[in-house]
Structure 1
Amino acid sequence: MSNPSICSVSPVEIDCSGSWLLHPESPAENLILSFKKHGQLIPVLAVQESGKTLLIAGRARVSAASKLGMDVLVRYIDASDDISKAVLHLEENSARSTDESLKLATVRYLSSRLNASELVKTVAPLLSIKPKSRDMKFWIDWMELEPEYDEFLRLGHIPLAAVSVLSKLDEVDRAALCRFFEKLSWSRSNAVNFLTWLYETSRRENKTVSELISAPEFESAGESESPKDAVGRFCKAAKELRYPKLSELEKMHNKIVSEICAGTKWRVEPVGSFETGEVMIQTRFKNREMMKKAMADLESIAKFNGWEDLFELGRDK
């Protein structure tokens, strides 16, 4: 039975090193003023094991009390194993924000102590994830990745959804891909597309991803290249490998359009990745003068001979 009584304990007697303390510690300074004015209003949670007081939740309160030379109000509860301790810790901190780092720490901690079905049943409600959702599956699959990828996820360099492709690769290819995520931050769409194009190309060409990314187009970003430009370059190179014909059509399209629209603000884009033979032309303006200029430009570019070449691109695909 849990002891419902609240005890006063010296901060030095409370062990705050438990591996189940998954939330990062909040700054004690946020509580010091309140402690000075009102004292400790909410007791910390702890368990007693082998004569020791092991903290379950309330590190900031313990730290604040220690800085002020105060004893800590402690409520002892039952938690006989690490799983129970972690669950109680997370439940007591449920009002705090839950980011990817916390989710990763939680799933990683509990995955080594529970089987897959128990993990889903336990973790999902703690992290407000639907048990049968794609995100929950992503988290389960992520547990099979190497530690390097945990760090990339914590830093925000790679999205969780990337595991949908990474889990299909072997350790050698995943290790070779690490360099793309060490210093660059990838959006969900860019990361998934980049990895998918490489994976699909490797299967089609019967080559490893490691071999594909050894090409000069995949050389690491130089000092003069912005992170955004580097990601764009890598995505473009992967897409050209996956869709060589489409990439050639895009180059031809861009060359013709640059001639057609030279000196104007009109843009011409293919409809349906050249599958329809149609194009869309558009521009923007914010006053009547700009509109008149745009209409005059449109009348001029409509006479350009390159339009027929542009329309033929889709037919020749």
Structure 2
Amino acid sequence: MNNPNVCSLSPADIDCSGPWLLHPESPVENLIPSLKKYGQLVPVLAVEESGKTLLIAGRARVAAAAKLGMDVLVRYIDAADDISKAVLHLEENSARPADESFKLGVMRFFAARMEASELAKAVAPLLGVKPKSRDMKFWLDWMELELEYDELLKLGHIPLAAVGVLIKLDDTDRAALVRFFEKLSWSRSNAINFLTWLYETSRRENKSIVELISAPAFESAGESESPKDAVTRFCKAAKELRYPTLSELEKVHNKIVSEICAGTKWRVEPVGSFETGEVMIQTRFKSREMMEKAMADLEAIAKFSGWEDLFEVGRDK
């Protein structure tokens, strides 16, 4: 070796336990054939501290070499503290994908070691996030949440964007909402709508969210209820609290429509939020036979007396 900073060490002499090793361990099986055939082409990165060799990047290469009984080529670099080590680790692994679970771990690591004001500037570029972007604002806000929400984000049960509402709530209300996300995976739109409707109702009625979700409609999902149906039920209950008048109009509308369109594939929906008194009717078909059946159904339902009642829904609200 011509580089004086590169040496050969036994894998057992390399400490691979540093907290700055933020990427999860990679499988070593894919490296073994290459190591057998060509040897180690790229040294791992490490620092020397107090007589120990601390790994910065290349954990999979060390593990593969250990399985093969080979020594490891190590290049020594300078990194004075955990933050510097983590930055170098992330730079060396910049080509690896970074999902939200990984980004969360990175954010928590740096948030525990630097001021929040420096977090966006120092960490965002390492994760491919723009320092002044909305996503970075979400990450900064997430650092203020309780750790129990971290697990929900890692599992994909709650979207990162939900923090925009969660951060406005007090600790007690946030703790009470955890149960809605523990066993259910929420889409971004459903989660944000659900939380926003509860938050806005809480402010309007001067009630805590704990009080609002004590209603029977917010009881946890039973064994016979599918996750999708449970999310739909929770969203519907929150929307009815936030928009009681609109929700009542929708119930009246749906009852009339169920009678008008019974036995057909036609759907009738209000235009807007009942402000115009207009409705839209639609269906789908993929053959002439289905089209002819739909047209016959339309002719029949056009004679239904309930249309007059439907047009009046919301007129005097």
TM superposition score normalised by structure 2: 0.98
Q: Which residue of 1 aligns with 2:181?
A: 181
Q: Which residue of 2 aligns with 1:250?
A: 250
CA distance in 1, matches of 2:73, 2:274: 70
CA distance in 1, matches of 2:148, 2:218: 20
The one-letter code sitting in structure 2 at the alignment partner of 1:210 is V
| 1:44–1:58 contact (8 Å) kept in structure 2 | yes
Q: Which residue of 2 aligns with 1:158?
A: 158
1:210-234 per-residue CA deviation (whole Å, 9 max, x = no partner) reads: 1111111111111111111111111
1:51 aligns with 2:51: yes
CA distance in 1, matches of 2:94, 2:275: 51
1:124-175 per-residue CA deviation (whole Å, 9 max, x = no partner) reads: 1111111111100000000000010000000101000000000000111111
Runs of 4+ aligned residues of structure 1 deviating over 6 Å after TM superposition are none
Q: Which residue of 2 aligns with 1:69?
A: 69
1:271-314 per-residue CA deviation (whole Å, 9 max, x = no partner) reads: 11212211110001111111111111111111111111111113
CA distance in 2, matches of 1:57, 1:276: 63
Unaligned runs of 5+ in 2: none
Map 1:289-308 onto structure 2 (within 5 A). 289-308=289-308
Q: Which residue of 1 aligns with 2:115?
A: 115
The one-letter code sitting in structure 2 at the alignment partner of 1:63 is A
The one-letter code sitting in structure 1 at the alignment partner of 2:130 is K
Alignment RMSD, CA only? 1.0
| 1:101–1:153 contact (8 Å) kept in structure 2 | yes
CA distance in 1, matches of 2:275, 2:32: 66
1:243-277 per-residue CA deviation (whole Å, 9 max, x = no partner) reads: 11111111111100000001111000111121221
The one-letter code sitting in structure 2 at the alignment partner of 1:92 is E
Q: Which residue of 2 aligns with 1:167?
A: 167
Map 1:73-222 onto structure 2 (within 5 A). 73-222=73-222
| 1:4–1:76 contact (8 Å) kept in structure 2 | no
The one-letter code sitting in structure 1 at the alignment partner of 2:135 is D
CA distance in 2, matches of 1:89, 1:276: 59
CA distance in 2, matches of 1:124, 1:43: 27
Q: Which residue of 2 aligns with 1:42?
A: 42
The one-letter code sitting in structure 1 at the alignment partner of 2:117 is S
| 1:278–1:314 contact (8 Å) kept in structure 2 | no
CA distance in 2, matches of 1:55, 1:248: 63
Q: How high is the sequence identity, in percent, across the aligned residues?
A: 83
TM superposition score normalised by structure 1: 0.98
1:173-217 per-residue CA deviation (whole Å, 9 max, x = no partner) reads: 111111111111011000000000001111111110011111111
Q: Which residue of 2 aligns with 1:13?
A: 13
Paired residues, what number?
Answer: 315
CA distance in 1, matches of 2:271, 2:37: 67
CA distance in 1, matches of 2:309, 2:132: 50
Unaligned runs of 5+ in 1: none
Q: Secondary structure at the match of 2:178?
A: helix
Deviation at 1:4, TM superposition (A): 5.8
